Amino acid sequence: MTTSTPTTEDNNNYKGWRGIQRAFATPSALTLLFFGFGSGLPFLLVGGTLSTWLRDTGVALSAIGLVSYASFFYVLKFLWAPLIDRYPLPFLGRRKGWLILSQVILIIALIAMALFKPESSLILFVALAGLVAFAGATQDIVVDAYRIEIAPVKSQAALAATYILGYRIALILSGAIALYLAELVGWTNAYLAMAACMLLPLAAALLSKEPAANTLTIREIRIRDAFIKPFQEFFSRNGVLLALALLAFVGLFKLPDQMIGVLAGPFYLDSGYTKADIATISKLYGVWIGIAGAFLGGMCVAAFKIKPMLVIATITVSVSNLAFLLMAIHPSEAWAFFVAISADNLAQGFAGVVLVAFMSGLTDRNFTATQYALLVSLANLPGKFIGGVSGYIVEATSYQTFFILSTLSVVPTLLLLAWLWKKLDNTPT
């Protein structure tokens, strides 16, 4: 089986503008485009699109917030990532085997969601949504490990950009197209169509290269070590205090955006916008703005140091939430919707690439899947917790108050970044 591994010479060839061009032109960048598509497709189907479906059928905001916990597998994926690092499946390769299995489960679970509607049995429907989230989280574990192992560190920003391009294209399908289909032919047919779209990343996985084995071979990793060594190495390399600070920073980085993620769809409906409006402005136009932000982030990370990019990304993610106040003050007005979505998606796209590049530099290639899964899980954990009770917060106050609170949640992140500032000079990023 063909394998690929980065070398020191490869790292030296990713410098300057030619380095940026070379990074974006690699076959790995194209592969990550399709893998990003596969990762992005289920995310909204158990997130924003699912929330819109539930609200469309009359489910209360408080219940929608609680249902969002079905996607908690995306936060807990570091718990089974060591098993994926330790045990290859007996076909296709260490990474490809798990990737293809997770994609097949995703297709089956999405079909089941389409057939068992929330109106018939909400408990069963939520359980199926949880299965989609579990399979999607497993797919993400493998894709993240694949991305880091298939190419040198200097090309990671480019791979992150093409990955996010595919991810954002999938968001168009699972967001805009799914809503259009729901409006025209119903939610069941919309989710069946989404299940069919997963065949594209499945084909890409079957045709992709398998990354070379890590320095620490699979045979040398005992099951106990598979769970302990990745965390032990991370804390040993950075020191306990710095390691905890890095993990806390990653966990707080996306908090302002994640706080409002669960209620975005219901907020649009409550503001007087139709499903077609949401599809056109938020899920179609907004995704392309996010893609622009992602490529801007990829170029900036390749051209400049990571530290100033972290500052810019942290601030823009939080301040962009204030744009949603325009929608709350001017409900049903398209211009307010466009302004809010432009600010939010540009900031998200830029910050997403910056965070991926930063986290990639924090991992050891011997424990790629586990360490990166831990970082990604932490990046989503605070927002998931708060998102689950966000419906109660809005019902107790207002959407306007909630948006202001989400913006102010950036303060601890900035304080932590100030403490980390000089220490980041010693990290691989």
At 202, the pLDDT band (50, 70, 90 cuts) reads: very high
At 50, the pLDDT band (50, 70, 90 cuts) reads: confident
* CB-based burial, 155-164: b 16+ in 10 Å, e otherwise: bbbbbbbbbb
Determine the Cα–Cα distance for residues 345 and 175; give it in Å rounded to an integer. 14
Q: What is the pLDDT of residues 345-379, one digit of tens each?
A: 999 889 888 888 888 778 776 777 677 777 877 77
Determine the Cα–Cα distance for residues 177 and 190; give it in Å rounded to an integer. 8
At 27, the pLDDT band (50, 70, 90 cuts) reads: low
Predicted local distance difference test score (pLDDT) of residue 395: 80
Q: How far is CA 383 from CA 251, 371, 399, in A?
A: 9, 20, 17
293 has a pLDDT exceeding 60: yes
Higher pLDDT, 279 or 23: 279
Higher pLDDT, 39 or 221: 39
Determine the Cα–Cα distance for residues 276 and 41; give it in Å rounded to an integer. 19
Check: CB of residue 132 under 8 Å from CB of residue 110.
yes
Mean pLDDT score, 138-163: 76
Predicted local distance difference test score (pLDDT) of residue 155: 62
225 has a pLDDT exceeding 70: no
Mean pLDDT score, 53-75: 77
Higher pLDDT, 114 or 162: 114
Check: CB of residue 156 under 8 Å from CB of residue 147.
yes
Sorted by where each begins, the domain ranges of the chain are: 19-226+237-426
- Which distant-in-sequence residues (6+ apart) come within 8 Å of 313 by Cβ? 253, 297, 347, 350, 351, 354, 355
Return the minimum-mean-pLDDT range out of 24-28, 126-130, 144-148, 364-368: 24-28
224 has a pLDDT exceeding 90: no
Determine the Cα–Cα distance for residues 205 and 337; give it in Å rounded to an integer. 37
Predicted local distance difference test score (pLDDT) of residue 42: 93
Determine the Cα–Cα distance for residues 107 and 111; give it in Å rounded to an integer. 6
Predicted local distance difference test score (pLDDT) of residue 287: 79
Which residue from 201, 155, 378 is spatially nearest to 147, judged by alpha carbons?
A: 155
Predicted local distance difference test score (pLDDT) of residue 59: 75
- At what angle are helices 27-45 and 187-197 packed, to 10 degrees? 160
* CATH class label, 19-226+237-426: mainly alpha
Residue ranges in 26-121 assigned as alpha helix (H): 27-45, 48-56, 61-67, 73-76, 81-86, 94-115
Mean pLDDT score, 399-420: 88
394 has a pLDDT exceeding 60: yes
What are the structure tokens assigned to 81, written together?
Answer: 């990532």
Mean pLDDT score, 401-421: 88
**Collapsed DSSP state (helix, strand, coil) of residue 222:** coil
Mean pLDDT of the chain: 80
Mean pLDDT score, 270-282: 85
Predicted local distance difference test score (pLDDT) of residue 84: 83
